[in-house]
Structure 1
């Protein structure tokens, strides 16, 4: 996990707010006070007055808070420095920017500094004749009731739900007391737990190394504070979810703040603390959903996944559950109400569109059936011989995989060897199940092409599949009765010509073509298959001295490619893998 960061003096909050307003029409910035407000909420606006919502807190939690300023959500926010509460003056500035005759709800996370400054701002506003109420969000369940009896729960993921649901309630014309009541109901019926692999990196500060390389924390907050429990070794996402869910569901008495049952309407939020990839977060969302359904019989009525409230680049995620049934009858309606706040990444969906399938199943469709040519090609092959040749090639690929993978970690994305092995394993499975039509030479190679495309993926999978598909057609069009070396010779040239239609790679470009083209050329010049394989190996070896002109390696710095200069240079991984495959195929054929 990299701890690199851009150089910074830490003065990035105000420019961030300006950038947000620049990319979100309707937002206005009071730069001096680091306040963002919705222009339509300003006192001079001609639209019908409504209860306005003001929130804020320390920066570093984006998109909260400024990202939730928008129609149907917040009206204004005050942004403090990173992980520091805004001042009372800033908060009062936000209150005045969206002052409403119907009053204003202040939403604050339950942290000491925030409560003091927002509370003082509320009192000053009341003294100035404004109608203001304050709601504190506390939904963390990692700190037990005994330990947190005086300070209460920390404000985490439920903050976002309060922004959205209370904002929608205000947009429906409710009075201040009613909006505040709904906000408090959301808080009281929400529970959040988070886990992280490490602490975040604060811009302009030296990275912290609080956790060992094999440690992680349960109960992480959003201010770089330590979690409630440190554990090791590093877990998989399913393992971490297994540890987190019982806590958020209140299975430990001291951590039971909200109870959930299968018959109730539950909202699930999976929140990226800032440093997880979208791929991993989506995976975590499905893992949490599956465990909720299978282990606890809880099928969430709404599921949201994304980056909502962060600890800068914290490498972890939080699970928030809201018991909407207990929070009130209109909670789901307000959750579904549309907003243009940039931080709410859920597109507007009607209640009908949110309809949950029985058992919490996700709508799925069957795979497209592969359309195969069932008419015999007329070119027969011996099943046992064909199978033996194929398995020999697979064995050679497995043998060379570590070397190919190592080469590709330098020259590419590190998956060349494993991709080849994945294709080999899929073919082995097909051989065991007798699903390859190996008694028909053309059909057998066509089947191999489909499996390679399905199991290998990436550029190499596509190239192999194109070549094999064209090879199958060349054999089918040969007019021969049996697959021979001569049949293969002509078809291999046809297949290479077909491949050249879809790739710019040519000999000398440092790709698998540097092994394939010499092999095909040697065969078609009358050489025996073993000599052709030798040509493939020589072609692969020549790539050590070539500049990469196409493919991933073309983006790699020459300094990286020079790491194996003591071996004569770094060869192209794809060419090395292909030469090994051809060696295995030809060896089993008796050459």
Structure 2
């Protein structure tokens, strides 16, 4: 296990110190792990204080929600461990005045006991304190009674509602009532793709097979209520949303807010996919989605997975969600578009590629292009493996997409040598992302310019066009032989082809010499240190592996060689 921490025993304190150091308006109690919002007003002038907390490991919750309009203080226990009664009481006394305090507590035994006893003690000492328990985990609907359900990510929405009520000067009874209304109205369900690792334990809390997930988990590294096979994101989101809707008895027309929450190791790209489907599914069920929040709001350390929360809205709750806050953990206003808007895509298609009269080499050119596509498809695993050892691993998939784009071109695209080069350039430019697409496109466009006006091309024409294409790739990328790029195969091939033709070699054999030179050039990259491209970041570590881009060049040149050899 590798973690960017010091002593696990000091982890929580160091996290709180970081927040105080980097966030204006916050302070830390000297001897307790309690983060507070600074308030210079005398205690008797302060509004109702809203506090929450619990075990750490849920960042940005709970300390990330300390700020105007949300929490007055957050009490942090050790990772996944409830804070002590004394810590909670100290937090109450640090921020609350005679108007009292409301404690937002997730429904775990330790939290209820420690926060509940602290509330009793604070009340006895003249600070009226009420406790609002959040038990939003609908995954337990068939397992335990509603009052025994866990409190999970929906708690963040309750923080926001209670904090807004306090900001507007409401009484302790009014703040607690609105918070309880939100707690009753919210339902949450989660899915984990893997376990988390508690720093002090140093190993996962459970194990999952490569194709297994846990449905209905909590936020403390525990297992869910069901283990099942991995499914596409949309299917998982539908199950989460449908379960919440059924449990909360939400009907068509009900206004709702959705919270899509990452559990710690889920990247934004995946949360966006979940949010997209959660919104769509809610609308399919007739719900009126007024707000949608996406991000990591209440994590479970480094657990991969997410939860979805639905909060049934009325005007009071929506106003509270929209109220301003300075809490840095609340990162979005949640507003969404009323519908997905699509506008026509401007055409980037080169119509001239299909307007030339059919020439005598059309069928031959088309067959060669299809042979290249077939070979690139077959070699996808090899190219992916080479690129994964020295780059980001996408070369195989990119070249396969390019091959499919070539296959999809209509026969008339190959009417002339120039039209074929332009059409393939357009296809690869659209199909291949990253650097490969532009490099191939610029080379093919340059080749098309060399072949323009020819109904058919001889070997010398093709050779000149190929040399021009290689030169354009060198100009665009700045690579030369020895930089460990596709040029290490392209340049030797161009020179070998031109040399063979100039010496009177048979055209087919001359091209075979070019293909052979490309293979030798690609093989030579195995001993090179990259000086351009992503592989250059790895230095000596790429030695021993051939450059994927150069190998790809050698593959499609050899495919052309095989095809033209079989046609003679």
| TM-score, with structure 2 as normaliser | 0.91
Q: Residues 20, 473 of structure 1: CA spacing in aligned structure 2 closer, same or farther, 3 A cutoff?
A: farther
Deviations 1:104-137 (A, max 9, x none): 2211111111111111211121122113222111
Q: Note if 1:587 corresponds to 2:565.
A: no
Q: Residues 373, 430 of structure 1: CA spacing in aligned structure 2 closer, same or farther, 3 A cutoff?
A: closer
CA apart distance, 1:42: 4.5
Q: Note if 1:416 corresponds to 2:395.
A: yes
Question: How many Å separate the matches in 2 of 1:520 and 1:89?
Answer: 79
Mapping of 1:421-500 within 5 angstroms?
A: 421-431=400-410, 437-476=413-452, 480-500=454-474
Secondary structure of the 1:300 match is: strand
Indicate if the aligned counterparts of 2:387 and 2:548 stay in contact, CA closer than 8 A: yes
Deviations 1:522-570 (A, max 9, x none): 23335332221111111111112222222222233645x46xxxxxx42
Q: Note if 1:60 corresponds to 2:36.
A: no
Question: How many Å separate the matches in 2 of 1:366 and 1:20?
Answer: 46
Mapping of 1:73-472 within 5 angstroms?
A: 73-144=70-141, 147-148=144-145, 152-208=148-204, 210-213=206-209, 214-231=211-228, 233-250=229-246, 256=247, 258-294=248-284, 296-324=285-313, 328-346=314-332, 348=333, 354-357=336-339, 362-370=340-348, 372=350, 374=352, 381=359, 382-431=361-410, 437-472=413-448
CA apart distance, 1:179: 1.6
C-alpha RMSD over aligned residues: 2.6
Indicate if the aligned counterparts of 1:543 and 1:571 stay in contact, CA closer than 8 A: yes
Q: Residues 112, 540 of structure 1: CA spacing in aligned structure 2 closer, same or farther, 3 A cutoff?
A: same
Structure 1: 5+ residue stretches without partners: 251-255, 563-568
Question: How many Å separate the matches in 1 of 2:346 and 2:494?
Answer: 34
CA apart distance, 1:55: 1.0
- 1:547 — aligned with what? 529
Question: How many Å separate the matches in 2 of 1:548 and 1:375?
Answer: 37
Q: Residues 38, 484 of structure 1: CA spacing in aligned structure 2 closer, same or farther, 3 A cutoff?
A: farther
**Aligned residues between the structures:** 555
CA apart distance, 1:209: 5.6
- 2:507 — aligned with what? none
Structure 2: 5+ residue stretches without partners: 502-509
- 2:505 — aligned with what? none
Secondary structure of the 1:540 match is: helix
Question: How many Å separate the matches in 1 of 2:118 and 2:43?
Answer: 24
Q: Note if 1:9 corresponds to 2:11.
A: no
Question: How many Å separate the matches in 1 of 2:78 and 2:529?
Answer: 49
Q: Residues 548, 342 of structure 1: CA spacing in aligned structure 2 closer, same or farther, 3 A cutoff?
A: same
Instruction: Give 4+ residue runs of structure 1 displaced > 6 Å after superposition.
Output: 375-380
Question: How many Å separate the matches in 1 of 2:328 and 2:362?
Answer: 60
Q: Residues 112, 63 of structure 1: CA spacing in aligned structure 2 closer, same or farther, 3 A cutoff?
A: same
- 2:20 — aligned with what? 21
Question: How many Å separate the matches in 1 of 2:205 and 2:301?
Answer: 16
Q: Residues 32, 485 of structure 1: CA spacing in aligned structure 2 closer, same or farther, 3 A cutoff?
A: farther
| TM-score, with structure 1 as normaliser | 0.87
- 1:566 — aligned with what? none
